Chains A and B, each alone.
Chain A
Amino acid sequence: MTNKIYAINGPVIKIKNTKDFAMREMVYVGHKRLIGEVIGVNADMTTIQVYENTAGLRIGEVVHGTGSPMSVTLGPGIIANIFDGIARPLRDMKKTDGVYVTEGSDIPTIDPSREFDVTVLAKAGDELSPGQIYAECPETALITNRVMVPPDFGKCTVTYAAPNGKYKVSDTILKVDVNGEELTLTLCQRWPIRTPRPVARRIPINTPLITGQRVLDSIVPVAKGGTAAIPGGFGTGKTMTQHQIAKWCDADIIVYIGCGERGNEMTQVLEEFGELIDPKSGKHLTDRTVLIANTSNMPVAAREASIYTGITIAEYYRDMGYDIAIMADSTSRWAEALREISGRLEEMPAEEGYPAYLPSRLAEFYERAGNCNVLSGKRGSVTIIGAVSPAGSDFSEPVTQNTKRFVRCFIALDKPLAYARHYPAINWLTSYSEYIPDFEEYYEKNVGEDFLRVRQRISNILLEENKLMEIVKLIGSDVLPDDQKLVLETAKVIRVGFLQQNAFHKDDTYVPMSKQLLMMRVILRLYDRAGDALARGVSVRSILGTGLFDKLIKMKYDIPNDKPEMFREYSREIDKTLDGLK
């Protein structure tokens, strides 16, 4: 029996009286073969959301089932590429369809004609288990693709192994015997996007994701395998912060999901990452980046799927034993896509029109992050950093509030800071990271034994400043006692000299942890020595007159990243100048 469209309302179509479709099954809709997914099944009606523009679709056109849930093809060739929300390669699409996104374009995720240099690791007679690596091939200059037995395969015995050589993605690499049935394994596999890929077990999080951004690494650190949210009103620099993390963080692979955002921003990522060189490997940043682009004018249903496509790709590389960082910009657009579809289905809305299942969907998404032992025994991690765009910059709106419940690191961007052009406009008082105690051992071994103490003192000075500012706003700073004036001046050095960071400056755009600690130490040294001088009866005025405070504010530019020894000169100068004050 053929299944014909009965009703059309925007991206939602309905079919009457059919039992042919399963929930979450992927379908082809109409003559143009638009891609859709079943989102509701009942005795009377089957509901489908269509991932492409439905204009021109007619009642009575046929819908074909595929028998499998919405899936992506995973294999070498994904890195350095750019895809739409349902994993179609946009570059290839431009070649075949021109500058506009065309409906019903059925281009495979992975170029079937591209050849890879494959080293086959398994040999005939080997026993393989799910997730085990049986071949390797270089995917980009930076990343080696480790070809794995799909996780949903049973235990199998290799009956044939191809010799090393050049293969296309769908060429047979192995033939295996699974309970008497002969199956072939190629370079790629398919996986349903809404099902998390299994791991052996989750392991505790103990390493920070080093981003080179001082306010993040030193004040609100993000964890490898952890979750973080970056909420902020328009113009506060969410995208800029995500770009900076994507450029400089020490993950192996970046999955950047542009979900309902600006087309020009994706172009910027493409151009900029193509030019930038990764400081650790000396290779292009694109060689470790996957882009998923569903810009705000692309179909809304695919926006909902883009988040899942991105995380499935991330999990695939995690299973090879890599550390992945996902930038999701912005999860609010994804939540709005949920709301739009929910509205078309006439579901009962909860807060602000969002569906009641918003919190559970957010939780499912963020829970796919983690630090794990993968099936092959290696360690891999997925870190999720989601931008949130609160309506009216009001953090009490449902998406921000629900996100806050499921992330352990909250990086709040602040409008007043952005107006004063303090970038990154991360508010050090309202942001928090619950991961800091987990990193104690890491900091002791890799950064410095005093790191946490130094960090705490810096935070305390900022807190103290916040309290004093209440008074200053009322009566001005002139009437404060000298020790409190010193707190304000030191806090200014911390704010302008340490927390503010210039993304366009060649040294300041990325600052290693060791330099961050040295900067904090030298600021505290100035604070302590100045405190000593005050105790001896020297006035704040003459301490400020030494110009040391201004000098520290500019040290981020004056001390290059590769000259840490200059900090010793700074300390010596502080001691000498202040000890000399009478």
Chain B
Amino acid sequence: MLNIQYSGLAEVNGPLVCLEGVKGVAYEEIAELRLADGTKRLGRVVQMEGDKVILQVFEGTSGLSLDNTRTVFKGKPLEIPLSPEMLGRVFNGAGKPADGLGDVFAEKYGDINGRALNPVARSYPRNYIHTGISSIDCLMTLIRGQKLPIFSGSGLSHNKLAVQIVKQARIAEDSGKDFAVVFAAMGVQNDVADYFRREFEHAGASGRVVMFLNLSNDPIIERILTPKCALTTAEYLAFEKNMHILVIMTDITSYAEALREFSSSKGEIPGRKGYPGYLYSDLASMYERAGVIEGSTGSVTQIPILTMPNDDITHPIPDLTAYITEGQIVFDRTLDSEGIYPGLSVLLSLSRLMKDGIGEGYTRADHSDVANQLFAAYAKVQDARSLASVIGEDELSETDKRYMVYGREFEQRFLNQGFDENRSMDETLELAWDLLSLLPKTELDRMNAKLIEEHYRENAE
């Protein structure tokens, strides 16, 4: 079977080519297209009908004509070589080495499509990852095995935040041992990719980072493969080498757009905003590869980054993402332009798993109550502000004025922090108490009297 070469193509359409007279090929099998000039490209079977086969060509179809190729089917799905030596290496979007250091000596090969985890085999994620960033640690705690995306917009500091997380992220009980990062860039600009590479080196972290780079001028089909390659690597390191892997994927919006381009060239019926009807399932097949499984001490934690088109959180990409992921971290353009870093929209952000990974035995006993109270109080700040914009701040009631002060301090001191500032959990929670003490005791309605007695600073003003 491996020796049969099919010469020529029946049709070329966008990233797709059609072959006729093909026999014995499997669905999703990989094919190699050999061009007359000696170069090779890879393709994947995406549709079959009778003896017609439609291939998706990863490197793009430019230069392909109906009679200058010979196609060989490989008899297996797309696999990448896996080895612990991948740490510190840089690959292109399709998993080929891109740092000039030669091929990876494979310990084994992994099918990049992954397989669905049996829900019974999962362990419920419970231990938190310390990022040193107050807003995240206290209000939207990242849990080991969680998928927690960052929703941002063009021009906001999501890349900076991602780098800071990589630099500072520590597993609570051991100090960085067996902790590594898999970084997948999809459709990012050259200088952004460069920024990440430089920052990782600068932080001395590059030895524990595996990078998969698909730049914005690279072929879109390769972009569809990039997260799959990255996650296959992550799963291998986590579940077979028992490491704790943090996967950062940026930018999911470029990925979804690549998927849309591919879908429309296939002539599929579009769903919302032209995205294919299976966008949810496709994104889920990626995000659901995060987790902790029984029988392995490793974990895969995901931080996908996406830029919301026009800052619209109801756009299909952030919308479907948030329905799959376990919460979201949302950037706010107003805060960002006020110079607050990281300018996170606290009320829109959420970590669904934090309730089971914080508190006594994990972080601190008062964590959950403090977080709830900070949220609730900050929600009231918004009411006070909108009232103040109508009647003026001077006309506000005493309590509302205290809320206005709390709101400003919260943004300036709690949210805002330095790029190199790594706050411990205690520092963060004590800071939170400083802020809550700006409010009258009676306003602290999410916690019991005993807790307030223990921590409330009587003369905070």
Contacts and interface: CB of A to CB of B under 8 A. Distances in A.
Interface of A: 6-10, 14, 16, 53-60, 82, 90-91, 93-94, 97-102, 234-235, 258, 260, 262-264, 266-268, 270-271, 293, 295-300, 333, 336, 339-340, 343, 346, 349, 352-353, 389, 391-394, 419-421, 473-478, 496, 504, 550, 553, 557
Given A55-B77, A296-B281, A476-B397, A266 B119 contact: yes
Nearest to B368: A504
Contact of A55 (B28, B328, B386): B28
B317 to A, nearest CB: 11
Contacts of B64: none
A126 B380 CA distance: 71
A550 B442 contact: yes
Contact of B24 (A8, A56, A58, A504): A58
Contact of B117 (A6, A101, A557): A101
14 contacts: A7-B47, A10-B278, A16-B50, A57-B26, A258-B119, A262-B324, A263-B288, A266-B122, A270-B120, A340-B277, A340-B281, A343-B268, A349-B269, A394-B314
A9 B293 CA distance: 32
B382 to A, nearest CB: 9
Contacts of B375: 420-421
A297 B284 contact: yes
B360 to A, nearest CB: 13
A299 B282 CA distance: 11
B200 interface: no
Going nearest first, the 8 A-B pairs with the smallest beta carbon separation are: A296-B284, A392-B314, A7-B49, A297-B288, A99-B121, A234-B322, A55-B28, A100-B115
Contacts of A267: 119-120, 122-124
B455 interface: no
B170 to A, nearest CB: 22
A474 B288 contact: no
A553 B445 CA distance: 9
Instruction: Indicate the member of B116, B146, B316, B386 with the most A CB atoms within 10 Å.
Output: B116
A16 B320 CA distance: 37
Instruction: Indicate the member of B269, B315, B328, B380 with the most A CB atoms within 10 Å.
Output: B269
B125 A264 contact: yes
B27 interface: yes
A99 B272 contact: no
B272 A100 contact: no
B6 interface: no
Interface string B105-136: 00000000101111111111100000000000
Contacts of B77: 55-56
Given A264-B326, A353-B271, A504-B355, A100 B116 contact: yes
Contacts of B272: 352-353, 391
A58 B25 contact: yes
Nearest to B386: A473
Contact of A264 (B291, B328, B355): B291
Given A352-B272, A419-B347, A478-B397, A56 B277 contact: no
Given A391-B319, A419-B347, A262 B326 contact: yes
B396 interface: yes
Given A262-B326, A295-B119, A496 B271 contact: no
Contacts of B269: 343, 346, 349, 353
A57 B77 CA distance: 11
Nearest to A333: B280
Instruction: Indicate the member of B113, B276, B314, B448 with the most A CB atoms within 10 Å.
Output: B314
Nearest to B263: A343
Contact of B271 (A53, A268, A352, A475): A352
B122 A263 contact: yes
Contacts of A504: 355
A496 B444 CA distance: 13
B453 to A, nearest CB: 15
A82 B125 CA distance: 20
B387 to A, nearest CB: 6
Interface in B382-400: 386-387, 390-391, 395-397
A6 B297 CA distance: 45
Contact of A336 (B26, B280, B293, B348): B280
Nearest to A54: B27
Nearest to B371: A421
A267 B291 CA distance: 11
A99 B116 contact: no
Nearest to A423: B372
A477 B384 CA distance: 12
Contacts of A271: 124
Nearest to A415: B348
B229 interface: no
B119 A82 contact: yes
Contact of B120 (A14, A82, A297, A333): A82
Interface in B75-123: 77, 113, 115-123
B48 interface: yes
B124 A336 contact: no
Contact of B145 (A97, A264, A393): A264
A234 B323 contact: yes
B316 A391 contact: yes
Interface string B284-296: 1101110101110
Contacts of A296: 280-281, 284-285, 287-288, 324
Interface in B436-450: 442, 445-446, 448
Given A99-B293, A101-B118, 20 more contacts: A7-B47, A10-B278, A58-B27, A60-B24, A91-B120, A99-B117, A100-B115, A100-B117, A234-B328, A264-B146, A296-B288, A298-B116, A300-B278, A343-B271, A343-B278, A353-B269, A353-B277, A419-B347, A473-B387, A553-B445
A258 B77 CA distance: 30
A17 to B, nearest CB: 12
Contacts of A59: 23-25, 48, 50-51
A487 to B, nearest CB: 18
A476 B50 CA distance: 72
A535 to B, nearest CB: 25
A295 B280 CA distance: 12
B348 A94 contact: no
B116 A101 contact: yes
A293 B375 CA distance: 33
A9 B284 CA distance: 19
B350 interface: yes
A476 B391 contact: yes
A7 B379 contact: no
B119 A56 contact: no
B327 interface: yes
B418 interface: no
Given A7-B50, A99-B295, A267-B119, A392 B319 contact: yes
B376 interface: yes
Interface in B307-354: 314-316, 319-320, 322-324, 326-328, 347-348, 350, 352-353
B270 interface: yes
Contacts of A353: 269-272, 277
Instruction: Indicate the member of B288, B295, B323, B376 with the most A CB atoms within 10 Å.
Output: B323
Given A60-B24, A267-B122, A476-B391, A297 B289 contact: yes
B139 to A, nearest CB: 11
A299 B47 CA distance: 17
Contacts of B115: 53, 100-102
Interface string B387-428: 100110001110000000000000000000000000000000
B56 to A, nearest CB: 13
Nearest to B373: A421
Contacts of B24: 58-60
Given A56-B26, A391-B319, A235 B328 contact: yes
B353 A264 contact: yes
A14 B391 CA distance: 68
A554 to B, nearest CB: 8
Nearest to A497: B445
Given A57-B27, A393-B314, A421 B119 contact: no
